[in-house]
Amino acid sequence: MNDTNIYSLEYAKTLDKQDELHAYRDEFYTKEGVIYFDGNSLGLLSKRAEKSVKMVMNAWKDNAIEAWTQTDNPWYYLSESLGEKMAPLVGANAKEVVVTGSTTVNLHQLVATFYKPQESRTKILADELNFPSDIYALKSQLQLKGYSANDHLIQVKSRDGHTINEEDIIAAMTDEIAIIVLPSVLYRSGQILDMERLTDAAHKHGIIIGFDLCHSIGAIPHKLDEWGVDFAFWCNYKHLNAGPGSLGGLYVNEKHFGENPGLAGWFSSDKEKQFDMKHELIPATDAGAFQIGTPHVLSAAPLIGSLEMFREAGIERIRTKSLKLTDYLLNLISKELQGYGFVVGTPLSEEQRGAHVFIEHEEAARICKALKADGVIPDFRAPNGIRLAPVALYNSFEEIFITITKLKKIMDDKRYKNYSNNRGVVA
Q: Which residues are annotated as a binding site for pyridoxal 5'-phosphate?
A: 103-104, 131-134, 212, 215, 237, 266, 294
Indicate the angle between helix axes 397-413 and 9-17, nearest 10 degrees.
160
Long-range contacts of 194-201 (CB under 8 A, 24+ apart): 194/166, 195/222, 195/224, 195/227, 195/229, 196/223, 196/226, 196/227, 197/166, 198/166, 198/169, 198/170, 199/227, 199/228, 199/229, 199/230, 200/227, 200/228, 201/169, 201/170, 201/173
Instruction: Give the CB-side neighbour count of residue 388, counting CA atoms within 13 A.
Output: 31
- Check if the beta carbon of residue 253 is closer than 8 Å to that of residue 96: yes
Q: Is 126 helix (H, G, I), strand (E, B) or coil?
A: strand
Annotated binding site: 103-104, 131-134, 212, 215, 237, 266, 294
Q: What is the CA radius of gyration of the chain?
A: 22
Q: Please list, in sequence order, all residues whose beta carbon lies within 8 angstroms of the beta carbon of residue 394, skipping any fewer than 6 positions away.
A: 24, 25, 27, 28, 30, 36, 39, 44
Amino acid at 398: E
**How far is residue 339 from each of residues 342, 403, 411, measured CA to CA in Å?**
8, 18, 10
Q: Whole-angstrom Cα distance, residue 123 to residue 156?
A: 13
Angle (CA) 263 268 269, round 5°: 140
- Check if the beta carbon of residue 266 is closer than 8 Å to that of residue 79: no
- Check if the beta carbon of residue 261 is closer than 8 Å to that of residue 268: yes
**Residue of 97, 58, 70 whose CA lies nearest to 307:** 97
**Residue of 270, 236, 273 whose CA lies nearest to 251:** 236
- Check if the beta carbon of residue 219 is closer than 8 Å to that of residue 191: no
End-to-end, the C-alpha distance of the chain in Å comes to 39
